[in-house]
Amino acid sequence: GAGVSQSPSNKVTEKGKDVELRCDPISGHTALYWYRQSLGQGLEFLIYFQGNSAPDKSGLPSDRFSAERTGGSVSTLTIQRTQQEDSAVYLCASSPRQGWTEAFFGQGTRLTVV
């Protein structure tokens, strides 16, 4: 595809359930980022993948959050035992290389925990 694709667009889940959010980056982009945007707030860094290097997980808020990037392409963000405070828009971005260049964002997944 032409841009970063995220699925689903919207997800409503019950408290305590696990959810998986998917990101398809732009083909050939080696860097991939996940951010969280709470209502009316800025973008909170979660995790960063660059090529085959170990990911930077320093932004993950708790051990309920994890992410994988398979084959250097598609990434999945998993939230276990969801809580109401996890409700937010989760944004994925990819970049053709590390640094000094634009990050292209997907449209986001709006997660609502009820």
- Residues contributing to the site for another protein (CB under 8 A): 4, 33, 35, 41-43, 45, 48, 50, 56, 58-59, 91, 93, 98-108
Question: 3-state DSSP: the chain helix, strand, coil percent, rounded to 5?
Answer: 5, 45, 45
Cβ closest to another protein, residue 59 vs residue 72: 59
Cβ closest to another protein, residue 74 vs residue 80: 74
Nearest CA among 39, 6, 24 for reference residue 112: 39
Least gap, CB of 18 to another protein (angstroms): 24
SS3 24: strand
Cβ closest to another protein, residue 44 vs residue 80: 44
Nearest CA among 68, 67, 65 for reference residue 83: 65
Least gap, CB of 73 to another protein (angstroms): 19
Least gap, CB of 7 to another protein (angstroms): 13
Cis bond upstream, residue 8 (ω within 30): yes
